[in-house]
Every structure is written in C-alpha cells, then in structure tokens.
Amino acid sequence: MTGEFALWVYLSHTPLLWLTVTLLAYAVADRFFQAAGRHPLANPVIHAIWMIGLVLTLTGTPYRTYFEGAQFVHFLLGPATVALAVPLYERRATVMRALLPMLAALLVGCVTAMTSALVFARLAGIPYDVRLAMAPKSVTTGVAMGIVEALGGDPTLAAVLVMLTGMAGAVIVTPLMRTLRVEDMRARGFAAGLAAHGLGTARAFQVSEVAGTFAGIAMGLNAFLTAILVPVAVSVLP
C-alpha cells in the first residue's frame, strides 16, 4: 500500500495524469451523452466537470496542481476557436445574406445579456465586485477573464459564472427553441452562440452544421462587442 501511495503522489504531480483524467472524464461523459440520445441534460461538459471535481475531492488534489496538467486542453481552446472560421468560410454566402439581421440581433442580445445581469444583481443587493464579474458572463472564458481583470474584478469568479452560463444555455437552448417554434437553424445557432458562448456553439454543431456556423459567428462578434460595452455598462450601472 505504501508503494501504491508513493506512486500516486508521484503521478499526481505530473501533467500527464491530470490530462488523462480530463480526457477520460470527457470520454465517459460523451459515451453517456450518445447513449442518452444526445439529450441536453446529458451534456458531456457538465458531467465531465463533476466527475473531475469528484476525483480532485477524493484525492485531496488542489486545483492548481490539476490545472498544471489540464492546461494543455485549455491551450487548445484558442486553436479550436480559430478553427470555427472553416465552416464560416464554407458558408460565407449564407452568412452574407443574413448579415443585417445578425448585426441587429448581436446588438440587442449583447446589451440585454449585460444589462439584465447588472440590473437584477443590483436589485438583489449583490456586491459590486460580483456584479462586475457577472457582466461579461455570455462571452467565452478567456475574454471574460480579461475584461474583468482589466476592470479590477476577480477573473476566477468571472470564469465560474461564464461556465455556469454556458452550461445552462447548452441545456435549455434546444428545448427553448422548439417551444418557441424557431425552426431556422441560422437563428437557433446565432442565439446559442450569443447567449452561451463556446458551450452553446458546441451544442449547436451537434444539432446542425449551419447552426454551429452561426453560433461561432455570434460567439466571436459578441466577445468583441462585449469587451467594448462592459466598461460603459458598469459605469452607467455601478
């Protein structure tokens, strides 16, 4: 037992262990997702998170130690985001035909996401630093953390709120669109990417490549516009 414990202590401080745990957790969650018929509540990201959290809790592993291995996956978020340009280029004619409606939806969606979070949080008496972290909750993690850090807020809290927003959006987007009888995959995808960033985009690609393409566009444009408008919003709604 002593030898096994010593081996675990050694492996727990190597990047390969936590990278493997991350990939295995997602693989198991994805198999469950497929077996459940791709039901929104079986989203593999959601279940991979709690499985990894359980492993960290049971082994007493600090998050910093875990992230030293998982950062390789984190690094790939950048190339994965850039790769969204491929379906965008392939469907550029479809995108150009919907350019004006997209820009209108972008402006309305971005402003609504920010102001609703700030107004409701202020009415609920939530502290300013938490409200600051909530403002960019609908953009991808890296952008949200950068915005909040530049404004003097807590980037870690911003990352948590972004993930919660993305998971909620990925779960409810398809049932909500069906309830609202929105059949246009362009509209469904754009809404998912705008409100739920990367997780919403991943969910949109699972439904339709057209939806995924428009979700990727919304995610990118919303990140750009949010970075501009958040400082204005937090100054107007302090």
Q: Which two tokens stand for residue 145?
A: 């953390």
- Helix pair angle (185-207, 155-179), 10° resolution: 110
- Tell me which residue of 215, 203, 159 sits closest to 42, measured CA to CA: 203
Give every CB contact of residue 116 below 8 A, 6+ residues apart in sequence: none
Residue entry with tokens 């990417």? 193
Q: Tens digits of per-residue pLDDT, 30-89?
A: 899 888 888 878 888 888 888 999 998 988 888 777 877 777 776 776 677 677 677 777
Q: Tens digits of per-residue pLDDT, 186-234?
A: 889 899 988 888 888 888 888 888 888 888 888 888 888 888 888 888 8
- 108 pLDDT tier (thresholds 50, 70, 90): very high
- Tell me which residue of 48, 76, 43, 55 sits closest to 12, measured CA to CA: 55
* Domain parsing of the chain, residue ranges: 2-75, 81-236
**Per-residue pLDDT at 54:** 92
CA dihedral 100, 196, 217, 173 (to 10 degrees): -70
CB 44, CB 30: distance < 8 Å: yes
**Per-residue pLDDT at 68:** 77
CB 191, CB 173: distance < 8 Å: yes
Which element (helix H / strand E) includes 216?
helix 209-236
Q: What is the pTM of this model?
A: 0.74
Residue entry with tokens 């969204």? 84
Average pLDDT, the chain: 83
For the segment 180-188, the average pLDDT, to the nearest whole number, is 89
For the segment 85-108, the average pLDDT, to the nearest whole number, is 82
**Per-residue pLDDT at 7:** 57
**Per-residue pLDDT at 116:** 87
**Per-residue pLDDT at 27:** 92
- 12 pLDDT tier (thresholds 50, 70, 90): low
CA distances from 195 to 3, 6, 52, 105, 165 (A): 49, 46, 26, 11, 8
Residue entry with tokens 């402003």? 111
